[in-house]
Amino acid sequence: MDSKLVVSPSPHVHSGESTSRLMFNVVLALMPAFAVSLYYFGIGALFVTLLSVLSCVLFEYLIQKFILKVQPTITDGSAIVTGLLLAFNVPSNLPWYIVVIGSLFAIGVAKMSFGGLGSNPFNPALAARVFMLISFPVQMTSWPLPIESRLKYIDAVTGPTPLAILKEGLKKGDTISQIADQIPSHLQLFMGVMGGSLGEISALALLIGFAWLLYKKVITWHIPISIFTTIFIFTGILWLVNPEKNADPIFHLLTGGVMIGAIYMATDYVTSPMHPKGMILFGIGIGLLTVIIRVWGAYPEGVSFAILIMNAFVPLINRYVKPKRFGEEVKRNG
Amino acid sequence: MNSIIITAILVLSLLGVALAVVLYLVAQRFKVIEDPRIDLVEAVLPGANCGGCGYPGCRGFAEAFVKTDDIGSMFCPVGGNDTMAKAAEVIGQTAEAKDPMIAVVRCSGSPEYRKRVVEYDGASSCKLATALYSGDTGCQYGCLGLGDCVAVCKFDAIHIDPVTLLPVVDEEKCTACGACVKACPKFIIELRKKGPKGKRIYVSCINKDKGGPARKACQVACIGCGKCVKVCPHEAITLENNLAYIDYNKCKLCRKCVEECPTGAILEINFPPRKPKVEGQTESVENN
Amino acid sequence: MLKTFAKGGVHPPENKFSANKPIEVLPLPAKVSIPVSQHIGAPATILVAKGDKVKVGQLIAQSAGFVSANIHSSVSGTVESIDPVLDSSGYKRPAITIVVEGDEWEPTIDRSPELKRNIDADAQTIIKKIAEAGIVGLGGATFPSHVKLSVPAGKKADVLIINGVECEPYLTSDHRLMLEKGHELMVGIQLLMRALGVDKAMIGIENNKPDAIKYLTEIAKEYSGITVHALKVKYPQGGEKQLIKALINREVPSGGLPIDIGAVVHNVGTAYAVYEAVQKNKPLFERVVTVTGKNLPKPSNFLVRIGTPVSDLIAAAGGLPDDTAKVVNGGPMMGKAVTDITVPVTKGTSGIIVFPAAESKRKAESVCIRCAKCVSACPMGLEPYLLIRMSQRMMFEKMEHERVLDCMECGSCSFECPANLPLLDYIRLGKTEVNKIIRARKN
Prediction ipTM score: 0.87
What span, in angstroms and rounded, lies between the C-alpha atoms of A15 and A23? 16
B138 vs A60, residue with greater confidence: A60
Provide the CB-side half-sphere exposure for B125 (13 A, CA): 20
- Residue C23, strand partner residues: C301
**pLDDT at residue B65 greater than cutoff 50:** yes
**pLDDT at residue A198 greater than cutoff 70:** yes
Picking from A162, A144, A145, the residue whose alpha carbon sits closest to that of residue A252 is A162
**pLDDT at residue C140 greater than cutoff 80:** no
**pLDDT at residue B161 greater than cutoff 80:** yes
User: Domain locations in chain B?
Assistant: 36-90, 101-286
- Residue B131: CB atoms within 10 A of its CB come to 16
Is residue C252 a part of any domain in this protein?
yes
Is residue C203 a part of any domain in this protein?
yes
Query: What integer pLDDT is reported at residue C254 of this predicted model?
Result: 87
Q: Are A294 and A305 in contact (CB under 8 A)?
A: no
Q: Is B160 left (phi over 0), alpha (psi -120 to 50) or beta?
A: beta
CB contact under 8 A, A9 and B116: no
Residue A281 phi, psi dihedral angles, 5° rounding: -60, -45
What span, in angstroms and rounded, lies between the C-alpha atoms of B76 and C414? 43
DSSP one-letter string for A72-84: --GGGSHHHHHHH
Query: What integer pLDDT is reported at residue C220 of this predicted model?
Result: 93
Is residue C84 a part of any domain in this protein?
no
Q: In what side-by-side order are the strands of the sheet with C159-163?
A: C226-231, C201-206, C159-163, C263-267
Looking at C245, C280, C315, the residue that finishes a domain is C280
* Listed range (B28-37, B251-260, C315-324, C422-431) with the worst mean pLDDT: B28-37
Q: Which residues of B touch C337 (CB under 8 A)?
A: 133
- Residue B192, strand partner residues: B102
- Residue C105, strand partner residues: C56
DSSP state of A330: H
**pLDDT at residue B286 greater than cutoff 60:** no
Please state, in angstroms and as integers, the Cα–Cα distance from residue B164 to each residue in B187, B208, B215, B266, C157, following that order.
Answer: 19, 22, 18, 17, 58
Mean pLDDT, residues A18-43: 92
Average pLDDT value for chain C: 92
DSSP one-letter string for B20-41: HHHHHHHHHHTPPP--HHHHHH
CATH number of the domain at B36-90, please?
A: 1.10.15
Measured between CA atoms, how close is B9 to chain C, in angstroms? 50
A152 vs B125, residue with greater confidence: B125
User: Nearest 5 degrees, angle CA C213-CA C214-CA C216?
Assistant: 65
Give the mutation candidate from B119, B134, B137, B140 for the A interface (greatest A CB count, under 10 A). B119
Please state, in angstroms and as integers, the Cα–Cα distance from residue C138 to each residue in C141, C143, C349, following that order.
Answer: 7, 8, 8
Q: At what angle do helices B80-90 and B36-44 cross, to 10 degrees?
A: 160
What span, in angstroms and rounded, lies between the C-alpha atoms of C50 and C42? 22
Q: Are C196 and C157 in contact (CB under 8 A)?
A: yes
**pLDDT at residue B281 greater than cutoff 50:** no
What span, in angstroms and rounded, lies between the C-alpha atoms of B154 and B243? 31
The size of the B-C interface in CB pairs under 8 A is: 44
Say whether the peptide bond before residue A184 is cis (omega within 30 degrees of 0).
no
In the complex, which subunits touch B with 3 or more CB pairs below 8 angstroms? Answer: A, C
Q: Are B36-90 and B101-286 in the same CATH fold?
A: no
Is residue C298 a part of any domain in this protein?
no
Query: What integer pLDDT is reported at residue B277 of this predicted model?
Result: 52
Question: C-alpha B6: how far from its chain's center?
Answer: 66
Beta strand B189-193 pairing with B243-246: unpaired
Q: Can you point out the beta strands (E) in C279-417?
A: 286-293, 300-305, 324-329, 336-337, 351-356
Residue C252 phi, psi dihedral angles, 5° rounding: -70, 125
What span, in angstroms and rounded, lies between the C-alpha atoms of C98 and C176? 29
CB contact under 8 A, A13 and C333: yes
Domain that holds residue C393: 373-442
CB contact under 8 A, A9 and B132: yes
- Residue C290, strand partner residues: C301, C351
Q: Are A252 and A231 in contact (CB under 8 A)?
A: yes
CB contact under 8 A, C370 and A269: yes
CATH number of the domain at B101-286, please?
A: 3.30.70.20
The CATH number given to whatever domain includes residue C227 is 3.40.50.11540
User: Nearest 5 degrees, angle CA C189-CA C193-CA C194?
Assistant: 120
Picking from A224, A281, A274, A216, the residue whose alpha carbon sits closest to that of residue A253 is A224
Is residue C315 a part of any domain in this protein?
no
Query: What integer pLDDT is reported at residue A329 of this predicted model?
Result: 57
Measured between CA atoms, how close is C125 to chain A, in angstroms? 34
Mean pLDDT, residues B74-86: 84
Looking at C280, C298, C322, the residue that finishes a domain is C280
Mean pLDDT, residues A129-150: 86
Query: What integer pLDDT is reported at residue A330 of this predicted model?
Result: 47
Contacting residues for B112 by C-beta, under 8 A, at least 6 apart: B164
* Helix runs in chain A, H state only: 19-41, 43-62, 78-88, 96-104, 124-135, 137-140, 162-172, 176-179, 186-191, 203-215, 222-241, 249-254, 258-260, 276-296, 303-320, 328-333
**pLDDT at residue C373 greater than cutoff 80:** yes
What span, in angstroms and rounded, lies between the C-alpha atoms of C313 and A216? 40
DSSP state of A112: G
Provide the CB-side half-sphere exposure for B207 (13 A, CA): 34
Looking at C261, C280, C299, the residue that finishes a domain is C280
User: Domain locations in chain A?
Assistant: 19-140, 161-320
Give the mutation candidate from C81, C89, C328, C339 for the B interface (greatest B CB count, under 10 A). C339
b/e burial code for range B192-202 (CB count within 10 A of at least 16 → b): bbbbeeeebbb
**pLDDT at residue C403 greater than cutoff 70:** yes
Interface of B with C (CB under 8 A): 117-118, 121-123, 125, 127-128, 131-135, 140, 209
Residue-wise pLDDT for B103-159, tens only, equals 999 999 898 899 888 889 888 889 989 988 888 888 889 999 999 999 988 888 999
Measured between CA atoms, how close is A74 to chain C, in angstroms? 12
Mean pLDDT, residues B235-263: 90
C1 vs B84, residue with greater confidence: B84
Q: Which residues of A touch C406 (CB under 8 A)?
A: 325-327
